[in-house]
Amino acid sequence: MSRQNVEALDVEGIRADFPILEREFSVGSETQRADGEAVDDGTPLVYLDNAATTHTPEPVVEAMSDYYRRYNSNVHRGIHHLSQEASIAYEDAHDRVAEFVGASGGREEIIFTKNTTESENLIAYSWGLSELGPGDEVVLTEMEHHASLVTWQQVAQRTGADVKYIRIDEDGRLDMDHARECITDDTALVSAVHVSNTLGTVNPVSELTELAHDHDALSLIDGAQAVPNQPVDVEEIGADFYAFSGHKMAGPTGIGVLYGRKELLEEMEPYLYGGGMVRKVTFEDTTWGELPWKFEPGTPPIAEAVGLHAAVDYLEEIGMANVQAHERELSTYAYERLSEVGDVDIYGPEPGPDRGGLVSFNLEGVHAHDLASIMNDHAVAIRAGDHCTQPLHDKLGVAASARASFYIYNTREEIDVLVDALEDARELFA
């Protein structure tokens, strides 16, 4: 990312596109009205749970409601006007997403799934179960989300393959010397998270992909926390497969994406069967339709695809380099402010180019769930738990952590509210 091209976001303008951010919660504080009566103060929502799900701007809601109002219909099957319009919109959404992540093969390389988890399972079922066997190794990292870790563990148990984990160092970065030891000629797949949803680490995924290819292995990158937050070009990375979710990038729930290199997808068998994905069916056998429909049986997420298209337009209008710079600034500020609070342990690398827009931490003596509950008393929404990275939390020596994650509509002032609430928690548990 070139720093000169980065522009500060018009955060107030962006916030106006997200009516949900205007919500206020009654959290028990009271003020005196002029007539002396006490009334509940509406406390404004501070939403810092964006790594779980981001909010949806008006243009996305509008695009989806326009679909339902004007051209709701099933795709690929109808001759009538509505079906034709819905089909075109659904297909266009694939093209738009392909362009957004640099997939030069266009729609044939973009499969719509339910979410990142399903995208990863698609590779596991379609490729993993048929290609892996005893002696093969799948190399993961210690910071994988369960979406990848549990999936490949299960595939390994079923196929007799082994799973290896690239270590993280004390700062929460991948130990690349260990990566070079782990990835060998026995490696069949390297599956790595692009940006850790717990540590915030931005991993050197191009380097990992290159290492995989040096040993004739494939690479699968989990981009759930990358595509929403920074420019991503799957071909520059060299990824064979790349997965992400609509609901973490200002889009709707119910739609995810799997990018796959066309040559690989062409060779792979579908993992779900049914209508809409076939070329010819007889009583004896079936041949598969074209990419990407071969991997999208049944009625697909049509309104969601329309919404995802609008979300991509919305983010590109802002500029992904600007999104990244804004989040980096907020996470740096959060890191610094949290470091000033005594007894706070922050996980992951110090602020810098390899840290994304989230900060996970613990306040000594306060369970993360209690902390999140106190935050909620201040209408501050954060996440607490293991963030679907239990083995990583075991490695960090904690059962859970609190996580604040930022998006295009967050401000420094909101981080101040978080830090003030943290001070309250400390006093309460002192």
- Give 172 or 289: the residue with its C-beta nearer to ligand PLP: 172
Annotated active-site residue in 174, 193, 249, 388: 388
User: How many residues of this chain bind ligand PLP (CB under 6 A)?
Assistant: 14
CA atoms of 144 and 222, how far apart (whole Å): 9
Distance of alpha carbon 219 from alpha carbon 212, whole angstroms: 6
d(CA 84, CA 78): 7
Question: Could you say whether residue 426 binds ligand PLP (CB under 6 A)?
Answer: no
Q: Which of 225, 360, 401, 405 binds ligand PLP (CB under 6 A)?
A: 225
Rounded alpha-carbon distances, angstroms, from residue 295 to 241, 247, 308, 311, 377 = 14, 21, 18, 23, 45
Both ends of the chain: CA-CA distance in Å?
44
Phi, psi of 347 (to 5 degrees): -100, 150
Asked if 115 touches ligand PLP (CB under 6 A), the answer is yes
Which CB atom, from 224 or from 375, has the smaller least distance to ligand PLP?
224
Between residues 43 and 116, which has the closer beta carbon with respect to ligand PLP?
116
Give residues 339-378 in contact with ligand PLP (rule: CB under 6 A): none
For residue 42, what is the enclosing H or E element? strand 38-44
- Residue 388 known to be catalytic: yes
Using the contact rule CB under 6 A, the part of the chain among 152-160, 222-230, 258-266, 397-405 near ligand PLP is: 222-230
Given the complex with ligand PLP, which of 193 and 323 has the nearer CB atom? 193
Question: Which of these, 45, 49, 126, 127, lies nearest to 296 by C-alpha position?
Answer: 126
User: Pick from 55, 96, 107, 145: which binds ligand PLP (CB under 6 A)?
Assistant: 145
Q: Say whether residue 197 binds ligand PLP (CB under 6 A).
A: yes
Residues 25-84 that bind ligand PLP (CB under 6 A): 51-52
- The Cα 150–Cα 144 span in angstroms is 9
Instruction: Out of 117, 191, 229, 410, point to the residue binding ligand PLP (CB under 6 A).
Output: 117
Q: Is residue 400 within 8 Å of 389, Cβ to Cβ?
A: no
Active site residues: 388
Give residues in contact with ligand PLP (CB under 6 A): 51-52, 115-117, 145, 147, 193, 197, 222, 224-225, 245, 256
